[in-house]
Amino acid sequence: MNKIEHIGIAVNNLEAAIETYTQLLGTPCYKTEAVESEGVKTAFFQVGESKIELLEASNENSPIAKFIAKKGEGIHHIAFDVTDINASMKELSEKGFQLLNEAPKNGADNKLVAFLHPKSSNGVLVELCQEKN
């Protein structure tokens, strides 16, 4: 893993959270994007070499809606930048980590993504991210 790519934060109201994080971080949101396949609307902030991703559910069946209903707003996942997502998935699976995806899928911010089950990473949802070419 190369670095922390971003920290994902589940929020109830994306617009209000964008305002809060713009003030908190002293930098504007550089991108918003809907990821229909995940039922989520996202907003990104650059913080040094890492990012903050705000996530709002776009429907009641979204993983973000379920997360907020169970745990409330807060940190949802930590994403790590990887050079070769397929190799990283294979390596982590061989080490005993439980993958939530059989293959990488399209994510926000021009990334291929895959997730590790929180049960295999001390309760933290881990996302692997590779920049699409």
Cα distance between residue 54 and residue 76, in whole Å: 9
- CA atoms within a 13 Å half-sphere pointing along the CA-CB vector of 19: 3
pLDDT tens digits for range 4-16: 999 999 999 999 9
Q: Which residues pair with 67 in a beta bridge?
A: none
Pairing label, strands 74-81, 3-10: antiparallel
pLDDT tens digits for range 23-59: 999 999 999 999 998 899 999 999 999 999 999 999 9
DSSP H or E segment with residue 17: helix 14-25
pLDDT at res. 133: 84
What would the two tokens of residue 99 be? 């993958």
pLDDT tens digits for range 66-125: 999 999 999 999 999 999 999 999 999 999 999 999 999 999 999 999 999 999 999 999
Cα distance between residue 81 and residue 22, in whole Å: 24
Q: Higher-confidence residue: 22 or 36? A: 22
pLDDT at res. 37: 86
User: Measured between alpha carbons, how far apart are the two ends of the chain, in Å?
Assistant: 18
Q: Which residues pair with 112 in a beta bridge?
A: 106, 130
